[in-house]
Amino acid sequence: MSDVTTTQANRLRRPTWKDSRLLVGLLLVLLSTALGGFVVSRAEDTVPVYAAKADLVPGQALGDGDVQRVDVRLGDTMGRYLSAEGDLPAGLHALRAIGGGELISRSSVGDRERVDTRVVSVLVDSVAANSLAQGSLVDVYVNRPTGTTGPGGRPVLAGPERRLERATVAAVPEEGSVLGGISSQVPIQLIVPTSAVQGLVEDIDLAAKITLVPVPGDRAGAQG
């Protein structure tokens, strides 16, 4: 009988600081509180990085008016982007197309020597050009003359061939600025890889018909 009474007394005894279960419980509470505070503080940490104010085309020099500071949470990827904690570094150029609002990664910009593109002006149908805007991505098709003529003295073309994929439109003429807006063709400036310049110039010199086909889903083209 005394054994039973002693056991019940032990169970009802108030815990003391020497009770291991109490210490473990308190330790778990403290750890969870500290961990929760750490996670919340890290989630609220933001860093300033540069983003493009508007679409940037390959080869474009970056100035203060082309970028904006945004505060974002990047975590371990912070080093991949152009920090805005200081002034914009001088001499930066876009190495690829950068969309408006896009965070500027370090790999997407560099000095002028790293720009491997050139601007080439091509004549395209004025109606087709209406769907284009600066920054539009287009596939470039060329249709070379065969050297013979067809009905009405028009040159016979060999058939379209895709010369370039995803070239960037650098500039389009302002509305009504070409021959009073009555020309059937208008000049479009394209940014093309340096390696493709010679072939495209050869097509221009041969008076090939050049057609620019907007890339599906291209935001700039859709806005144009």
Domains and CATH numbers, the chain: 47-113 (3.90.1210.10), 116-223 (no CATH)
User: Among 84-88, 95-99, 124-128, 154-158, which is the least confidently predicted range?
Assistant: 154-158
How far apart CA 200 and CA 204 sit, in angstroms, is: 6
Q: What is the mean pLDDT of residues 166-172?
A: 90
**Mean pLDDT computed over 37-42:** 54
3-state DSSP call for residue 10?
A: helix
Write down the mean pLDDT value for the chain.
82
pLDDT score for 6? 53
**Rounded CA separation 66/61 (Å):** 9
Residue with more model confidence, 175 or 215: 215
- Rounded Cα gap, residues 59 and 63, in angstroms: 13
Per-residue pLDDT, averaged over 20-30, amounts to 70
Residue 223 — pLDDT band, cuts 50, 70, 90?
A: very low
Mean pLDDT throughout 10-27? 61
Please check the confidence at residue 112 and state whether its pLDDT lies above 60: yes
Q: Which residues of 153-172 are buried (b: 16+ CB within 10 A; e: fewer)?
A: eebeeeeeeebbeebbbbbb
- Asked whether the predicted pLDDT for residue 224 surpasses 90, the reply is no
Q: Given this model, what pLDDT does residue 3 score?
A: 54
Q: Contacts for 130-133 with beta carbons within 8 Å, 24 or more apart?
A: 130/224, 131/214, 131/221, 131/224, 132/169, 132/172, 132/188, 132/212, 132/214, 132/221, 132/224, 133/169, 133/172, 133/220, 133/221, 133/223, 133/224
For position 222, what pLDDT does the model report?
Answer: 45
Burial track 91-125 (b if 16+ CB lie within 10 A, e otherwise): ebbbbebbeeeebbbeebbeeeeebebbebebbbe
Beta bridge partners of 120: 190
At 192, the amino acid letter reads V
pLDDT confidence of residue 97: 85
Question: pLDDT over 70 for what percent of the chain?
Answer: 76
Alpha-carbon distances of 164 from 96, 106, 205, rounded to whole Å = 16, 26, 17
In which element (H, E) is residue 188 found?
A: strand 185-193
- pLDDT for 181 beyond 50: no
Q: In this model, does residue 96 exceed pLDDT 90?
A: no
Note the pLDDT of residue 180.
43
Residue 134: is its pLDDT beyond 90?
Answer: no
Rounded to an integer, the average pLDDT of 66-81 is 88
Structure tokens at 215: 């890339």
108-to-10, 50, 64, 68, 82 alpha-carbon distances in Å: 71, 12, 17, 16, 9
Work out the average pLDDT over 58-64: 92
